Structure 1
Amino acid sequence: MQVQAKRVRAETTRRFLLEAAAHLFDERGYAGTSISDISARSGRTSGAIYFHYASKENLALAVVEAHFAAWPKLIDQYRSAGLPALERLIGLSFAVARAFRDDVVIRAGSRLWAERKSIDVTLPRPFVGWIETVTELLEEAHREDEFAIGVTPEVAAQGLVSAFFGLHTVSDALEGRRRIEDGLHDLWLLLLPALQTDPDPASLLARVREREEDAAI
């Protein structure tokens, strides 16, 4: 019992420190954040931070790993939703957009990866998992006869992931991702006519948004 309690306390402390660091990494970047800053933000000593993470590099790595660890559970929700594949893909895209907007660990992990050349540690490789996930959903849409003939799922997935994360970069730079969902809606209106067998992007987006609103009630 005592061992388990200590383990829980240690994990709680690690998460607390990670989130404190994430706020600073998101606001100031890697180079602009020091262990002393994290100590002041968290109210814990520098010694406690080094005990749990050993270095600023390891703490940055932990934030990036937490960023990547957030996605599998979210992806699984949309893989098993029992809906047409394109609806699941669009729903997933909005869920990811909200996570980037609202979750400081997600935002910090993204910024740290962009600053990876200044961090002396090997970070996880991005985008590959997203390309695979989008390809799988587009292949399902193809089997459901919802996906346009002549469009290759693998090629379309590469383009969609590039467009999606490009939108995030622009939205972050211009308005701190506050209007990311509006931008994503407009992006889908632009892309869906090339992806759907019988293009009707407005109706498809309306169904997705209505379902999300009902789920939020």
Structure 2
Amino acid sequence: MQDRAEATRNAVLHAAAELFSERGYAATSISDISERSGRTSGAIYFHYTNKEQLALALVDAHFSAWPSVIARHDATARPALEKLVGLSFAVARTFRDDVLVRAGARLWTERKSIDIEMPLPFVDWITTVERLLAQARAAGELAAQAEPSRDAPNLVAAFFGLHTLSDVLDDRMLIEDRLANFWLLLLPGLQADPAPRALLARAGGRVTTGHPARVPDGTER
């Protein structure tokens, strides 16, 4: 019985994530989620008392995805800047590939239309980036002009701005190329001994030519 209930919750949550990600909160109804999930409206209301609670569950799923990703990169023996760049690509791929994460991000941007309190974003990311930059400074990896407490919020803002751009222009299909070009621009100002392409390769990121990203039909974006 418990397995059946869990299967229902998961089916409903994934169906809601797909619809919220595709259409947004206001344009998605419980009836839509029922049709997509193959579960009755009664079953949905049994597990989630209203659409707001479904939205909150997805936002919570979005935020809960990150601690394990961060811990996995922290556990490596890589230098701190490599950890930071590697982490950025892991986050980018998760945004691209995980519908729960994408839905949670869209719902947070639509929070003013949802009558429920949501967690505060970005603060934990700023803390994580500042910590990695401080480690890089202590290890002699960071350029003299770089300042962890000043630069971390700017890096986080630029990173998530890049995601917004990629979401609009190419449905995040080109996010790895765009992120590689992002680091090719910024690493020369962050590394004590600039070698951005070598760092990208070691960190597991896509190393690009630096040319404009292209969508699959070959059109420059």
Task: Compute the TM-score of the two structures, normalised by the length of structure 1.
Answer: 0.92
Q: Where does the alignment leave 5 or more consecutive residues of structure 2 unmatched?
A: 207-221
Equivalent position of 2:168 in the other structure: 173
Which runs of structure 2 are paired with 1:107-122 in the superposition (5 Å)?
107-122=102-117
> How far has the Cα of 1:209 moved from its partner?
2.4
Equivalent position of 1:90 in the other structure: 85
1:198 aligns with 2:193: yes
Partner amino acid for 1:105? L
Partner amino acid for 2:55? A
In structure 1, what is the Cα distance between the partners aligned to 2:4 and 2:32? 23
> How far has the Cα of 1:210 moved from its partner?
7.3
> How far has the Cα of 1:11 moved from its partner?
2.8
In structure 2, what is the Cα distance between the partners aligned to 1:100 and 1:187? 17
- Give the length in aligned residue pairs: 206
Using a 3 Å threshold, how does the CA distance of structure 1 residues 60 and 194 change in structure 2: closer, same or farther? same
The C-alpha deviation readout for 1:158-187, integer Å capped at 9, x for no partner, is 111011000000000111010000000000
In structure 2, what is the Cα distance between the partners aligned to 1:48 and 1:83? 47
Kept in 1, the 8 Å contact 2:62–2:100? The answer is yes
Kept in 1, the 8 Å contact 2:58–2:100? The answer is yes
The C-alpha deviation readout for 1:13-66, integer Å capped at 9, x for no partner, is 212211110000000000010000000000100011011000000000000100
In structure 2, what is the Cα distance between the partners aligned to 1:17 and 1:30? 15
> How far has the Cα of 1:113 moved from its partner?
0.5
In structure 2, what is the Cα distance between the partners aligned to 1:80 and 1:92? 12
In structure 1, what is the Cα distance between the partners aligned to 2:4 and 2:142? 49
> How far has the Cα of 1:200 moved from its partner?
0.9
> How far has the Cα of 1:9 moved from its partner?
3.3
* 1:43 aligns with one of 34, 38, 42: 38
Secondary structure of the corresponding residue to residue 121 of structure 1: coil
Using a 3 Å threshold, how does the CA distance of structure 1 residues 120 and 149 change in structure 2: closer, same or farther? same
Using a 3 Å threshold, how does the CA distance of structure 1 residues 145 and 168 change in structure 2: closer, same or farther? same
Q: Percent identity?
A: 62
Relative to total residues, which structure has the larger helix share, 1 or 2?
1
In structure 2, what is the Cα distance between the partners aligned to 1:124 and 1:47? 28
Q: Where does the alignment leave 5 or more consecutive residues of structure 1 unmatched?
A: 1-5, 212-217
Kept in 1, the 8 Å contact 2:80–2:132? The answer is yes
Equivalent position of 2:20 in the other structure: 25
Which runs of structure 2 are paired with 1:124-203 in the superposition (5 Å)?
124-203=119-198
Partner amino acid for 1:78? H
In structure 1, what is the Cα distance between the partners aligned to 2:78 and 2:113? 43
1:54 aligns with 2:49: yes
Partner amino acid for 1:56? K
RMSD: 1.3
Using a 3 Å threshold, how does the CA distance of structure 1 residues 17 and 184 change in structure 2: closer, same or farther? same
Partner amino acid for 2:88? S
The C-alpha deviation readout for 1:94-148, integer Å capped at 9, x for no partner, is 0100011111111111110011100000111110110011111111111110011
